[in-house]
Amino acid sequence: MISHKEIIIRLILSAITGGLIGVEREVNNRPAGLRTHILVSVGSALMMLVSIDGFYDVETGLRTADSARLAAQVVSGIGFLGAGTIIKTGSNIKGLTTAASLWACACVGLAIGNGYYLGGLLTSVIILFTLMSLRSIEKRIFKGKYKKLEIISINRPGLIGEIGMLLGKHDIIIKDINIVDGEIEDREEHGTMEIHFMVKVRKNFNPNNFFREIYKIEGIFEALFYGRKIHDNNFQVL
C-alpha cells in the first residue's frame, strides 16, 4: 500500500508538471491551456494510484483484478479530449501539437502516479523543450527553404486548382495552403479571399515569367511574394 505522504507528493508533482506544460500552451493562446493540462495530469496520476492500490483484498493482500487495465484506458481515452483541440479552417489544420501535449501530459501523470519519477520528470523537461525551443529552431531551419506567397482574389470555383497548375508548371513545391475568407478593406468587390501558400522555389525560378502568368488567371488582383507587393509587369528579382 502507498503511504498518504507518497500519494500527496505524486498528485502535487503531477499537477506541477502538467501546469508547466499548460502555461506554455496558455501563453500561445491554444485551446487547451493551464487548467486543462493540470486536470489531465492529476487525473491520470490518480487513475494510476487507484490502479496500484484500488484492487487489493485487504484480508488476503492479493489483487482482485488486473490493475493495469484501468490505467490503460487513460491512454486511449485521452484521444477524445485531444480531438476537441484540433480545429480545421479551410485547408488549414491547427491544434495537433496541443492534442499531442495533452496525450503526453497524461503519460507523465501515469508515470508519476506510478512512482516513476525520473521518467516522468525527464519527459516533462523534453516536452517543455520541444514546445518552447524547437519552434524557433524549426523556423530557422525552414526559413531559407520556404517562402510565403500571398494571393488576394475573387472567391470562385476552380481558382486554387488553376494556381496549383501554374505553380507546378514552374516547378514550385507547395508545403502548405491557408485560405482566409472575407472582404478586403478599401475595395468595392465582395466575396474576396486571401490564399497563403508556403512554397519552395527552384534555383532557376524565373519570377518575372511567373507573375506575368499569374495575373492572367481570372479573379486575381493582387499578389505578394517575400512580403512585397507584386504588380503585373512590375516584378523585381529579390
Residues 6 or more apart in contact with residue 186 via CB below 8 angstroms: none
Across 144-167, average pLDDT: 84
Backbone angles phi, psi at 218, to 5 degrees: -65, 130
CA atoms within 13 A on the CB side of 233: 1
| CATH 3.30.70.260-classified regions of the chain | 144-230
Q: Which is higher by pLDDT, 181 or 161?
A: 161
Backbone angles phi, psi at 147, to 5 degrees: -120, 155
Q: What is the pLDDT of residues 175-231, one digit of tens each?
A: 778 777 554 444 444 578 888 888 888 777 777 788 888 888 888 888 887 655 555
CATH code at 144-230: 3.30.70.260
Q: Quick one: which of 229, 161, 172, 232 has its CA closest to 198?
A: 172
Lowest mean pLDDT among 27-41, 46-60, 108-122: 46-60
Beta strands, E only, the chain: 87-89, 92-94, 147-154, 173-181, 192-200, 220-225, 228-230
Identity of the amino acid at 31: P
Q: What is the mean pLDDT of the chain?
A: 77
Q: What does the radius of gyration of the chain's CA atoms come to, in whole angstroms?
A: 26
Q: Is 227 left (phi over 0), alpha (psi -120 to 50) or beta?
A: left
State yes or no: pLDDT of 13 exceeds 90: yes
**C-alpha cell belonging to residue 86:** 484540433
Q: Is 2 left (phi over 0), alpha (psi -120 to 50) or beta?
A: beta
DSSP letter string, 63-126: BSS-THHHHHHHHHHHHHHHHTT-EEETTEEE-HHHHHHHHHHHHHHHHHHTT-HHHHHHHHHH
